[in-house]
Amino acid sequence: MNLEKVFFSAFILLALTLNFGFVMGDIDNPDHHHPMELFAAISVSLIATIIKLGDRTHIGAVLLATSIVADVQLLAAALVWGMALHVLDTGNTASVIATVVSLSGGALLANIASVVLLMIETVTLRR
Amino acid sequence: MTNLFLLFFRRFQRRVELPPEESARFAPLLPSSSINTTPHVIFLVLRRMRMPLLILISAYAISMGGLVLMPGIDEQGNPWRIDFFHAFYFVSFMGSTIGFGEIPYAFSPAQRLWTIVSIYLTVIGWLYAIGNILTLLQDPAFKRAVTEQRFARGVRRLKVPFYLVCGYGETGSLLVKALTRRLVQSVVIDSDAERINALALEDLNFDIPNLCADVREVRHLMEGGLQHPKCIGVVALTNEDQINVKIAITCKLLNPTLKVICRAEMADTAANLASFGTDHIIDPFNTFADHLTMTLRSPSVHLLYEWLTSIANAPLPKPIHPPRGTWIICHYGRFGKAVHRYMTFEGMPTTIIEPNPDQAPEGAIVGVGTQAVTLRAAGIDKAVGIVAGTNMDANNLSIILTARQLNPALYLVARQNRRGNDALFKTAHVDLVMQRSRIIVWRILPLLTVPLLSQFLQLARHRSERWAEELLEKIRVLCEGVTPQTWSISIDPEQAPAVHAAIEQGREIRLWHLLREPQERSQPLPCLPLLVLRQDQEILLPDDDLPLVANDCILLCAPHDCAERMTWAAFNTNALDYVMTGEERPDGYLWRWLASWQQAPACPIPDPPSKRGKADRLKS
């Protein structure tokens, strides 16, 4: 068993699960989507991106790309939320929450792709 | 738990330094070129920055998360918690120690407690990250990767034909300087950092990409442009024969069309190099001995060599006249052997002085040439010349000075081993100095700049002294006492498009057409054609009336400003027409059409102008 591999896979998977946890629930219900969860998802997603940096293989490059997409989507969601609450003062309305959740839903897709790639890599590794 | 974390940490660090396993696993799937290249600088940075970035992100996440959870009280005394937006703002300015204070409300003790933790976390994280970047920038491996990449990029971007010079020692630096003066681009690789620094300090007016690296490494030769479309040739000039062989064989394998010129000082190396088709092998000792005997046999041919190979518009080199008679050769090493062999071939009697009795040939005087006794024993009073050929400059100078005292009329030839001793050899008034680096450069230069010149000089060697004397006189008159410029032009669409097109159309172009002033055709250009190369036929000193054929190569010599005027007619169809017919022909389709109406019957050119216009249109 490779401890480094465990860490690597765990973070990629954790990025997906946290993301999923945030997106789950009614799309426009603020009670179903806690900011803390989005924060955790962003943090883990950023860490997952950094872990993938510097890998020169082709699959490493694609993994990095999916992670970057997830980061961009999640950060956009956080930005929208922050702008709505503090800059524009619109409050936690249904439309704001719907935008935030749909943006992180996009990130969810990228994270799924990331995990699928990870699985493919694991399967091709015959040891 | 701590142990596990430490274990993980160590593992992780190892991952940072070692190439990841995946890359080895996927290597066979990648194109081969990506394996053999330098690690890309960006990957080095990313790999090195992984740990600091992870620590920074974790520190921020922990600080922000904790701060949001800590209970606080707003101005009205209501319970309040900082939101993520303000938490990120606060941690950002706190971590970078800018410190705007507690916003938006004064913190509660719980929040302050967490802030203390956050300060240490983020500040240490930042210090670690910045320290890591600075270490990376100082890292020798990183610096090497950066310079290597800059070099490779510099070579890749070269738009002019260039030579790759391997080895920037005495010979290499002389060669690069000489090439630069002749406006030829070169690229330099040497394993010695000091020499590369010397190149940077040299005032060459040219940007010469240079790399300090082991030339035996194939990768470095590739970066130096071995397979670059503009690379014309490789010159291997390192001090070690084995390295030169390695360079030559690498070049011949990876790019067989390349011209490879190699320095070789051992006979077996030369044979080895010749066996796989190295284009030119230069042995400085043989070259010098060859030229020394040439000055004995036919001084004018030797002088022709000197005049044609030196840089244009300089004072003409003086002729050398070593006397015929018995010569004394001190030290029977590589140099002494070469001189002895050539002298014997020339029928010149020689006496050899050699300190080592095992190496001394039959009839040699055993002893050191620096002693008067030995020189007397060798018959210095009856000798006409002496060759001081040891590998120590001090000894050579000593031999020269002693010999001159014993016989002031002696012709003195000395081998100079180090370029730094120039001043000594100059003040010692040695008649002929053999300096390895100069000899090699002198031999290589025509090969690189005007390859046709080498061919001409080879032919000239078999000509008589009288022939060479006449030619020298012609050149002297032509160039008014300074050295001529020698260049070659080949009748092809690239170097002489106008002439080539005219020949393709079936018009007869003779050599004298090119040798007329393009502004005033009655004036001949002061230009002397030396050689015309036609397929395998060599026409030495061709007649002005010689009709030219496509793909002829012409070697010319003239005063230094003449070449441009001559190429005018070779490039410009109108200028060529004028030179051939004496008519200023109107240019442009309309004028040409009008001219064809007016002058068609009286046109002195064999083919009708309308056809010519069509051909011109096709060409453009």
- Supply the pLDDT for residue B186: 92
Q: Between chains, do A85 and B83 touch, taking CB under 8 Å as contact?
A: yes
- Supply the pLDDT for residue B543: 86
Q: Enter the DSSP assignment of B28.
A: G
**Terminal CA-CA length for chain A:** 11
Q: Which residue has the higher pLDDT, B21 or B414?
A: B414
- Supply the pLDDT for residue B201: 84
Q: Between chains, do B65 and A58 touch, taking CB under 8 Å as contact?
A: no
Q: Which residue has the higher pLDDT, B590 or A117?
A: A117
Q: B interface toward A at CB cutoff 8 Å?
A: 7-8, 11-12, 15, 20, 22-23, 25-26, 29-30, 43, 46-47, 49-50, 53-54, 57-58, 60-61, 64-65, 68, 83-86
Question: Sorting pLDDT into bands at 50, 70 and 90, what band is B432?
Answer: confident
Give the least confident one: B27-41, B136-150, B187-201: B27-41
Give the least confident one: A99-108, B226-235, B313-322, B340-349: B313-322
Q: How far is B496 from chain A (nearest CA, A)?
A: 50
Q: How far is A44 from chain B (nearest CA, A)?
A: 9
pLDDT for A102 beyond 90: yes
Which residues are B528's β-sheet partners? B557
Q: Which residue has the higher pLDDT, B16 or A101?
A: A101
> For residue B64, which residues of chain A lie inside 8 Å, CB to CB?
39
- Supply the pLDDT for residue B57: 92
Q: Between chains, do B65 and A43 touch, taking CB under 8 Å as contact?
A: yes
> For residue A7, which residues of chain B lie inside 8 Å, CB to CB?
8, 12
> CB of B198 within 8 A of CB of B173?
yes
- Supply the pLDDT for residue B602: 43
Q: Between chains, do A50 and B23 touch, taking CB under 8 Å as contact?
A: no
Distance of CA B177 to the CA centre of its chain: 9
pLDDT for B19 beyond 70: no
- Supply the pLDDT for residue B599: 59
Q: What is the DSSP track for B185-234?
A: EEEEEES-HHHHHHHHHS--SS---EEES-TTSHHHHHHTTTT-TTEEEE
Q: Between chains, do A57 and B84 touch, taking CB under 8 Å as contact?
A: no
Q: A interface toward B at CB cutoff 8 Å?
A: 3-4, 7, 35-36, 39-40, 43, 46-47, 50-51, 53-60, 78, 82, 85-86, 121, 125
Question: Sorting pLDDT into bands at 50, 70 and 90, what band is B36?
Answer: very low
pLDDT for B15 beyond 50: no
pLDDT for B336 beyond 80: yes
Q: In degrees rounded to 5, what are phi and psi of residue B74?
A: -85, -170
pLDDT for B241 beyond 70: yes
Q: Between chains, do A4 and B83 touch, taking CB under 8 Å as contact?
A: no
Q: Between chains, do B68 and A57 touch, taking CB under 8 Å as contact?
A: no
Percentage of chain B beyond pLDDT 90 is 16
Q: Which residue has the higher pLDDT, B551 or A73?
A: A73
pLDDT for B115 beyond 50: yes
Question: Sorting pLDDT into bands at 50, 70 and 90, what band is B604?
Answer: very low
Q: How far is A109 from chain B (nearest CA, A)?
A: 23
> Region A74-98: what's the mean pLDDT?
91
ipTM surpasses cut 0.90: no
- Residue pLDDT, tens place only, B532-582: 988 878 888 888 888 888 888 899 888 887 887 788 878 888 778 888 877
B280-282 and B259-263 strand pairing: parallel
- Residue pLDDT, tens place only, B357-369: 888 888 888 888 8
Q: What is the DSSP track for B360-419?
A: --TTPEES-TTSHHHHHHTTTTT-SEEEE--S-HHHHHHHHHHHHHH-TT-EEEEEE--G
Q: Enter the DSSP assignment of B318.
A: P
Measure CB to CB from residue B61 to each of A43, A51, A56 and give the nearest one: A43
- Residue pLDDT, tens place only, B122-181: 999 999 999 988 988 888 888 888 889 999 999 999 999 999 999 998 889 889 988 888
pLDDT for B232 beyond 80: yes
Q: Between chains, do A39 and B50 touch, taking CB under 8 Å as contact?
A: no
Residue of A nearest to B14 (CA): A4
Mean pLDDT, chain B, integer? 82
> Region A36-65: what's the mean pLDDT?
88
> CB of B322 within 8 A of CB of B343?
no
Give the least confident one: A58-72, B21-35, B146-160, B514-528: B21-35
Prior bond of B28 cis (ω within 30°): no
Measure CB to CB from residue A50 to each of B54, B64, B86 and give the nearest one: B54
Say how many C-beta atoms besides its own lie within 10 A of residue B124's C-beta: 13
